């Protein structure tokens, strides 16, 4: 399975989900991306200036 590319539109949801204590694996699975891309966002290597979303998408898996 090929990973999708991390996009700026994913970042606010990733940041909010991590703030709500979702683990990297669950977030990565939702977006079909590598967990390393979640780490890139959370450490500021990718898209550091994009703020977290206000709410998770309706289809986001529950904690």
pLDDT at 2: 65
**pTM, whole model, 2 decimals?**
0.92
pLDDT at 3: 67
Contacts of 28 (CB under 8 A, 6+ apart): 34, 35, 37, 38
pLDDT tens per residue across span 23-50? 999 999 999 999 999 999 999 999 999 9
Domain ranges of the chain: 1-53
pLDDT at 4: 84
Helix, strand or coil for residue 25? helix
């Amino acid at each position: 399975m090929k990973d999708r590319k991390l996009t700026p539109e994913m970042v606010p949801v990733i940041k909010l989900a991590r703030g709500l204590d979702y683990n990297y694996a669950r977030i990565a699975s939702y977006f079909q991306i590598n967990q390393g891309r979640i780490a890139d966002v959370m450490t500021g290597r990718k898209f550091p200036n994009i703020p977290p979303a206000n709410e998770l998408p309706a289809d986001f898996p529950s904690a």
